[in-house]
């Protein structure tokens, strides 16, 4: 296991502003307009103007891959920043946050904004833009056997999990039921209809054993957050949320080359972030985890140490994800499965809302520490971030 030798940032860092647009089917907005709207919401939240930001960091839309997305957004916003960077791939929130804190800590930037937005719902029937392939190796060795869409890859992980641990078949349902309950308490969440133990088996199968409620919600929308020094953040509009630690680990790309489930990068990623923050998982009050599929959440529960190996299914069934029952509630806004995918950006935003005490009916009492995660591929690359109330 590889650990990050750094124990802390050289200067305190914070998230100073957050914002996300409405989600759903929004054909009236282009991807750039959704990004700009999210950016403006985060800027207004912090009490900043576009010109106050000297680093614009963007993830290119998955449904419309675009060169120079960050430069285009900065131009659209009428600014000419020192840094404009576009990334492509998964672990969006984790990658953008790590880049932002690195820029601010090094002094290359004073204020960095991280933005994502896309028309995933309206564009899903006709993707345009630059052609993109998951990988040349995947095209040659996995795609011919049906390993193309993400549900297939995650269904293989789910099948392996059931095989290795003889886990209860209700394990996946427990995740979806919990997150629908939380989404019902969250204004703006896309999927707020109830999911029950009785209705789950009646839902459509996507890829055995994963059903529709096991798959993330694909919507149009945008999200953004702003990173700066703690000192600067304290002079702004909102109470700052400290960034205490970040960690990451990449273990594979093709499912055929994946290690044992428990050897995915979650443990190392979490060890780095928690070690840098100087806390343990038992200190965490709320967890906002990247749940593109229900099996991804179960594997992270174990990798983070919230429960033991092979125990996540029963852990979820017993109510240990739910508000009002769990010591450390998980995905308090409904997560990717019920709120919206948004490339996982909402995980950071919801963590900040909880730590600010602004989560309304779903507020976790006395929340002071949060952990949030990001995933690329089929848990191929994993990011963990530890945030704290200042």
**pLDDT means over runs of 10, the chain (390 residues):** 58 97 95 96 98 96 85 96 89 95 96 96 58 56 67 92 93 98 97 96 96 96 98 97 95 77 91 95 98 97 97 97 97 98 96 98 98 92 95
Q: Is residue 258 part of a domain?
A: no
Q: How far is CA 233 from CA 42, 113, 187, 273, 292, in A?
A: 13, 13, 27, 22, 31
Q: Is residue 33 helix, strand or coil?
A: helix
- Measured CA to CA, the distance from residue 81 to residue 286 in angstroms comes to 35
pTM for this model (two decimals):
0.94
Q: Please give the tally of structural domains in the chain.
A: 1
- Measured CA to CA, the distance from residue 350 to residue 306 in angstroms comes to 19
Nearest residue to 176 via CA among 154, 153, 200: 200
* Predicted pLDDT at 147: 62
The answer to whether 243 touches 97, Cβ cutoff 8 Å, is yes
Q: Is residue 24 part of a domain?
A: yes
CA pseudo-torsion sign 45, 51, 57, 62:
positive
Tokens of 361: 């009916």
* Predicted pLDDT at 124: 53
Burial 263-290 (b: 16+ CB within 10 A, else e): ebbbbbbbbbbbbbbebebeebbbbbbb
- Measured CA to CA, the distance from residue 205 to residue 277 in angstroms comes to 41
Which helix (H) or strand (E) segment is 287 a member of?
strand 286-288
Q: Is residue 103 part of a domain?
A: yes
Residue 47, number of CB atoms within 10 A of its CB: 13
Query: In terms of residue numbers, what domain contains 223?
Result: 13-125+218-233
Q: Is residue 78 part of a domain?
A: yes
C-alpha of 96 from chain center: 11
Q: Is residue 292 part of a domain?
A: no
* Predicted pLDDT at 208: 94
Q: Is residue 178 part of a domain?
A: no
Q: Is residue 239 part of a domain?
A: no
Q: Is residue 60 part of a domain?
A: yes
The answer to whether 222 touches 184, Cβ cutoff 8 Å, is no
Nearest residue to 331 via CA among 346, 309, 312, 310: 346
Largest Cα span, the chain: 56
Q: How far is CA 147 from CA 139, 164, 300, in A?
A: 9, 21, 23
Give the domain CATH number at 86. 3.40.47.10
């Amino acid at each position: 296991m590889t650990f990050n030798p750094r124990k802390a940032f050289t200067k305190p860092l914070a998230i100073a502003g957050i914002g996300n647009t409405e989600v759903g089917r929004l054909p009236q907005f282009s991807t750039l307009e959704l990004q700009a709207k999210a950016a403006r919401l985060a800027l207004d939240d912090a009490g900043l103007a576009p010109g106050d930001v000297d680093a614009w960091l963007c993830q290119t839309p998955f449904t419309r891959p675009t060169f120079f997305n960050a430069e285009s957004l900065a131009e659209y916003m009428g600014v000419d920043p020192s840094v404009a960077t576009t990334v492509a791939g998964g672990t969006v929130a984790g990658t953008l946050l790590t880049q932002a804190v690195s820029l601010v800590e090094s002094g290359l930037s004073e204020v960095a904004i991280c933005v994502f937005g896309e028309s995933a719902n309206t564009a899903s029937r006709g993707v345009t833009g630059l052609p993109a392939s998951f990988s040349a190796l995947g095209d040659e060795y996995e795609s011919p056997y049906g390993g193309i869409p993400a549900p297939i890859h995650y269904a293989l992980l789910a099948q392996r999990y059931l095989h290795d641990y003889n886990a209860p078949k209700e394990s996946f349902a427990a995740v979806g039921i919990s997150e629908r309950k939380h989404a019902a308490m969250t204004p703006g969440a896309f999927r707020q209809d109830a999911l029950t133990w009785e209705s789950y088996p009646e839902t459509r199968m996507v890829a055995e054993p994963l059903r529709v409620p096991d798959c993330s919600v694909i919507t149009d929308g945008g999200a953004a957050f702003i990173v700066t020094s703690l000192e600067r953040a304290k002079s702004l509009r909102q109470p700052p949320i400290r960034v205490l630690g970040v960690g990451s680990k990449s273990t594979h790309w093709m499912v055929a080359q994946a290690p044992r489930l428990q050897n995915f990068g979650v443990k190392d990623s979490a060890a780095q972030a928690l070690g840098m923050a100087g806390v343990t998982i038992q200190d965490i009050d709320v967890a906002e985890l990247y749940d593109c599929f229900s099996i991804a959440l179960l594997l992270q529960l174990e990798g983070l140490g919230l429960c033991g190996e092979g125990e996540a299914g029963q852990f979820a069934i017993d109510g240990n994800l739910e508000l009002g029952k769990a010591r450390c509630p998980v995905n308090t806004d409904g997560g990717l499965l019920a709120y919206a995918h948004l490339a996982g950006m909402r995980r950071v935003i919801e963590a900040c809302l909880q730590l600010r005490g602004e989560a309304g009916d779903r507020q976790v009492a006395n929340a002071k520490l949060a952990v949030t995660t990001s995933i690329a591929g089929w848990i191929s690359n994993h990011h963990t971030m530890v945030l704290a109330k200042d």
